[in-house]
Structures are given as structure tokens and as C-alpha cells.
Amino acid sequence: MNSYIPWLIIIIKAFLILFVTLTLAAYMVLAERKLLARMQDRYGPNRVGPFGLLQPLADVIKLITKEDILPAQADRFIYLIAPGVVAGTVLLTFAVVPFGAPVKIGGVTVQMPVIDLNVGALYFLAMSSLGVYGVALAGWSSGSKYSLFGGIRGSAQMISYELSMGLALVPVVMLTGSFSLNDIVAAQSNVPFVVYSPLAFVIFLVSVAAESRRIPFDLAEAENELVAGYHTEYSGMRFGLFYIGEYVNIIVLSALAVTFYLGGWHGPGPSWLSLFWFFLKAAAIAFFFIWMRATLPRLRYDQLMHLGWKFLVPLSLANVLLTGFLALIFHWRNV
Amino acid sequence: MNAIIFYLLSAAAVFSTLMAISRRELIHAVVYLVLSFFSLGLIFFMMGAPLIAALEVLIYAGAIMVLFLFIVMMLEMGAAKIPLTPFWKVWGPAVVIAAVILFSMSLLFLGTPQTPLSPMTAFISPRQFGQALYTKYYLAVEAASLLLLFALVGALYLGKRDNP
Amino acid sequence: MMPPFSYVLVLSAILFGLGVVCVAVRRNLIMILIGVEIIINAAGLAFVAGSLRWNMPDGQIFVLFLAAMAASEVSVGLAMIVYLHRRKKTVNIDHFDEMKG
């Protein structure tokens, strides 16, 4: 009996996560605009609803009702699917994020991630590497020079920083002895990995910031050089998909930084508080990204490449060596 | 159930590969090939190789094909001016030969006793994979790393601007 | 229930054949490299199927080495294509038919 219940649970979880994530992304936009405004001595959006709380709704309505323009030069098919690739790969990453302790509903233990892959960390890397296609194809298919440059820059940047991001995950996998995100969180029940390998955390944050193509790493859409980079030609809801992709990306990357380094959903108090702890930690990281956007100037393209290849990659390799060495000496491996 | 998924995935892989090799637009070929690698990755996942499935997407789709895409975009050969050769001149013989090879291979494979694969017994976890890799094949790992190093040096030398 | 081993091999053979056709027929250097990628992947599929058939990790390990080989082949190959394109402004293989530079 009940062979369909696991499937049902998976489908419910997937829909719930999709709904919550998209709503969070919309409010992430509002939070960023508000915070940026405060940091720049402005008010930010405050006209629609109390404190501007309905602003995301208004934005969505505006985007949906706008005309969806297809440039004459564009490669029709690829132009139409590229935004979906950007948003889709980011949303798919959420499938493996464990954002709370397992809960028991009517005798069935429900794990929080939609699927607990035994190669979860690699799945995340694979999905983020597929995200490159969205950027590169959008840039190429628009048939505009600005878009093409944005696409080339964006894809080069993302390939470069994927390396250091992957290498920053190696200490975590070494200390856990597993790629599964559930195991990684379980291994941090006492001490989060940021204590064991703070350097990896810093490298991961920088690489992730570059991977999400935001200031100070927004070379792919640098507005004073490339108009809007790879999504110059897009309008309406297709532009909205890029926007959703960007903000869901911030959420998912913050969530993964928490999962890999800050102990996941572990925290003081009863287990039902785990969702709250996870949300709090992820919000802190997301706030850090917004803060960085308000503070730092954009890098030059060669500086970006130098930072990636000549600094972060060697540093993360050295960090892998160092963490392995220390783990051997102090018997850190807890599996 | 698994068999149906396998047939669907293999149909997707064959179709996208077919589309990939027949496109004039290089970018389209690359996109179709990514789809083909993706379905191959899923087939690997079904066949008890989750690590290889992840690496297939990560390395082939995520790195190698991006490299192709990057070069095509950089050289701006998007609309390649190279015509497809007339069908009977080159395509004909190649297709005939490929069909003959394929036919004989299929006959050979299908003629041998059919051994059904059992997915669960041969499930190889990343841990087993790593253990086998670094105990039995450590020399091969070294050789592969040397190969990659040579490729790096070679690519750097070829890519140098002031080449004679 | 999985399909029989030989079916997987047939799929691998079909992909291999498609790769060979691509290498033999296309005149674009980049498409030839793509054909080689298809061939390597078809071989990888056969290896993984064998690994499942005999319940050994060795086949999967060879796929890893195949990936390393494919990566190095592609990086050198593409560097050569960029170099040739810089010299002759074309990637049509018919234009590289003389031995002198």
C-alpha cells in the first residue's frame, strides 16, 4: 500500500518550494531596493501599498502586460528559450537544498530537500555550469553587438569562477566524506565548517558573487559600457525571467553557502525552529550581497580575470592542501 | 517503468545527436548536443553511475560545450558560410557505410544471449568509485593529470599572439 | 526493470555511427571536433553499461579518463582552430589542403 505517497510528497514539496521561492525572489527585489535606498540616503519604493509592500505585484503586472519584442536580427528559437534556461537552472538547484530538519507527519518522515541526491554538491555545480548557457545564448541570439559582448564576458566569467567555487567545496566534501547535502548538514551538527576552513568560505562567497554576475562582478551587463549586456534586447516577461533568475540565484546561493559552511539548519532550540535558523542565516548572507552591491565599484575585465585565475584558483588549491593536512593531523574527519 | 524511461531517453539522445550533426548553424548544433549529453547523463544516472552522470553534465555539457560555444561566438562564425556538401557526393557514402557498420554491430549485439541489467545491484556510490580510482588506478590518474598539463601547455602555446 | 545489456550497446553503436558520419561529412573544423565528442560519449556509454553488467566500478572509472582525454583534446583542438582561423580567416577544412603554410 501507499506506494504513491513518496511521489505525492515530492510533488507537494516541489510546488511549495517553487511558490515560496518565487515569492521570496519578488520580495528580495523589494528588499534590495529598500536597503540600497537607505544606504544611499533615499526612501526607495514606498507608494504601492503600506511601505511599498505591494511593489513586487505591481512590477509583475507591469512586466506581464508589456510587449514581448522579438528583434529582427534575432535567432528566433534560441532567443525565446534563453531566459528560461537562466531561470530554470537556478530553480532546479533548489531541489537539493535541505532547508530544515526532517519532520514527521502522520508517521512518515519527510526530508526537507525534494530529493536527497548522493551527488548533491556536484548537482549544484552542474546546474550552475548549465546556467552559463542562458547568458551566452541570450547574448548571441539577440543579434546585437552589445548583447554579444555581454554574453561572451558573462560566459568567460562564469567558467572562470566555477573552478574556484568547485575547489572551495572540496574541503567541505573532504570533511564530510559525502557529496550529499543532508550528510554535509549532519556533519556540522556541532561545529560549522566555517570554523574548520574559513578560507574556503571566503573563496566560496567571492566566487558565488561572481557567479551571480552582480556588482562588483557585473561585467556582463555593465550599463555604462554595454547598455544592459546580454539582456539588452529583451522586454516584457522574458526580461522578467532574467530578473527572477538573478534574484532566485541570490537566494539559492545564500542557502547553499549556509548549507555548506554555516551549519545548515542547525541552531539552538527545538527542531521546528530549524526553518527559522536557516532563513536567518540565508538572509544574513543575502544582506551581505546587497551590502556589497551598495559599497563596491565594478572591477575592470582584466582585474576580474586576474582575481579569478591568478588569485582565487591557486588560493583554493592551497586551501584544499592545508585543510587536508590539518584534517589528517587533528583527525577532523567525522565520518 | 525503467525500460520506458530508458527508451524515451535514448530516443531523445539519438534525435538530438542527429539534429546536432545536421545543423548548419554551429550554435544550434552545440545546443542540440548539450541536450544529447543531458539525456546521456540521465541514462548514466539510471544505470547506477550517479557520479559519472553528474560529471557528464558538469564536464561535457558545462565545460567542453561552453568552450565550443565560446570559440564560435568569439570567431563570429555564427552564420557559417561553409555550405553543406551535396547529399550524394559525400553524405551518401558516409551514411551507407555508417548504416552497414551499425547494422552488423546491432546484429552482433542482439545475437548474443540477452542479459537483463539489474539496476540496484550494481549501484556504485561515489565512495566506492573514489576508492577504486585511487587504489587500483592511481597511475592512470597521474597519467591523466599529465595529459591535461600537456594540453594546457599546448593550448597556451598555440594561442600565443606572437606566434611565428 | 532495465533493458537488456545489448540494447544499451546498440544505442551506443547508433551514437558512434552518428559521430563517425559527422566527422566524415562535415567540412567545418569545429563540427569535426564535435563529431569526435559524440564518438567519445558513445564509448563512455558502452563503458558505463559494461560496468553495470559486470558490477564493477572499473568501467565508470574509464569514463572519467575519457572525459579527461576529451577535455584535453578539445582544448588543444580549439586552440589549433583559433590559430588556423587567425591565419586563413576560415574554418573550412577544404582550405587547408596544402602542406605549405
User: Which DSSP helix (H) or strand (E) runs through A224?
Assistant: helix A223-226
Radius of gyration from C-alpha coordinates of chain A: 20
Q: Copy the grid coordinates of residue C10.
A: 546498440
Indicate whether A229 pLDDT > 60.
yes
Which candidate, B29, C29, B61, places its Cα nearest to that of A78?
B29
Alpha carbons A206 and A157: distance in angstroms, whole number: 12
Q: Residue B104, class by beta-carbon neighbours within 10 Å (0-12 exposed, 13-18 middle, 19+ buried)?
A: exposed
For domain B1-80, give its CATH number from 3.90.180.10, 1.20.120.1200, 3.40.50.10140, 1.10.150.120: 1.20.120.1200
Judge whether C34 lies within some domain.
yes
B near A: at least 3 beta-carbon pairs less than 8 Å apart: yes
Percentage of chain C exceeding pLDDT 90: 5
The number of domains in chain C is 1
Q: How many CA atoms lie within 13 A of A10 on its CB side?
A: 10
**Which residues of chain C have a CB within 8 Å of the CB of B55?**
63-64, 67
Q: Copy the grid coordinates of residue B110.
A: 542482439
Q: Residue C44, class by beta-carbon neighbours within 10 Å (0-12 exposed, 13-18 middle, 19+ buried)?
A: buried
Considering only residues 130 to 159 of chain B, which have any Cβ-Cβ distance to chain C shorter than 8 Å?
132-133, 136-137, 140, 144, 147-148, 150-152, 154-156, 158-159
Judge whether C11 lies within some domain.
yes
pLDDT of residue A119: 80
Considering only residues 30 to 59 of chain B, which have any Cβ-Cβ distance to chain C shorter than 8 Å?
30, 33, 36-37, 40, 43-44, 46-49, 51-52, 55-56, 59
Give chain A's end-to-end CA distance (angstroms, integer): 35
Judge whether C94 lies within some domain.
no
Judge whether C39 lies within some domain.
yes
Cβ atoms of residues B13 and C14 within 8 Å? no
**Which residues of chain A have a CB within 8 Å of the CB of B31?**
78, 133, 137
Alpha carbons C4 and B114: distance in angstroms, whole number: 6
Mean pLDDT to the nearest integer, A64-70: 79
| Longest CA–CA separation in chain A, Å | 63
B near C: at least 3 beta-carbon pairs less than 8 Å apart: yes
Judge whether C30 lies within some domain.
yes
Helix boundaries (H) for chain C: 5-25, 29-53, 58-88
Alpha carbons A133 and A244: distance in angstroms, whole number: 16
Alpha carbons A161 and B115: distance in angstroms, whole number: 45
Q: Residue A217, class by beta-carbon neighbours within 10 Å (0-12 exposed, 13-18 middle, 19+ buried)?
A: buried
Measure CA C86 to chain center: 25
Q: Copy the grid coordinates of residue A294.
A: 551598495
CATH number of the domain that C46 lies in? 1.10.287.3510
Residue of A75, A89, A118, A119 to mutate, testing the B interface (most B Cβ within 10 Å of its Cβ): A119
Q: What is the pLDDT of residues B52-96, one digit of tens each?
A: 888 888 888 888 888 888 888 877 654 455 555 555 666 677 777
Is C36 near chain B, with CB under 8 Å? no
User: Which DSSP helix (H) or strand (E) runs through B27?
Assistant: helix B26-46
Considering only residues 49 to 108 of chain B, which have any Cβ-Cβ distance to chain A shorter than 8 Å?
50-51, 53-55, 57-58, 61-63, 66-67, 69-70, 73-74, 78
Q: How confident is the model at residue B149 (pLDDT cuts 50, 70, 90)?
A: very high
Put simply, the answer to whether B158 touches C31 (Cβ < 8 Å) is no
Closest in B17, B51, B151 to C18, CB measured: B17
Percentage of chain A exceeding pLDDT 90: 0
Is A133 near chain B, with CB under 8 Å? yes
**Which residues of chain C have a CB within 8 Å of the CB of B20?**
22, 34, 38
Measure CA A204 to chain center: 12
Closest in B34, B54, B63 to A122, CB measured: B54
Q: What is the pLDDT of residues A90-147, one digit of tens each?
A: 888 888 888 777 777 666 666 777 777 778 888 888 888 888 888 888 888 877 778 8
Q: What is the pLDDT of residues A33-57, one digit of tens each?
A: 888 888 888 887 777 777 777 888 8
Alpha carbons C94 and A165: distance in angstroms, whole number: 42
Q: What residues does each domain of chain B span?
A: 1-80, 125-164
Considering only residues 72 to 91 of chain C, which have any Cβ-Cβ distance to chain B shorter than 8 Å?
72-76, 78-83, 85, 90-91
Mean pLDDT to the nearest integer, A220-225: 69
Put simply, the answer to whether A140 touches B78 (Cβ < 8 Å) is yes
Domain carrying residue C58: 5-89
Classify each residue of A87-126 as buried b or exposed e, where b means 16 or more C-beta atoms within 10 Å of its C-beta: bbbbbbbbbbbbbbbeeeeeeeeebbbbeebbbbbbbbbb
Give me the phi and psi of B138, to 5 degrees please: -65, -35
pLDDT of residue B146: 92
Q: Per the omega criterion (within 30 degrees of 0), is the bond before A83 cis?
A: no
**Which residues contact residue B127 at a Cβ distance below 8 angstroms, ignoring those fewer than 6 apart?**
A177, A178
Is B15 near chain C, with CB under 8 Å? no
pLDDT of residue A304: 83
Put simply, the answer to whether B62 touches A126 (Cβ < 8 Å) is yes
Residue with cell 514539496: A13
ipTM: 0.84
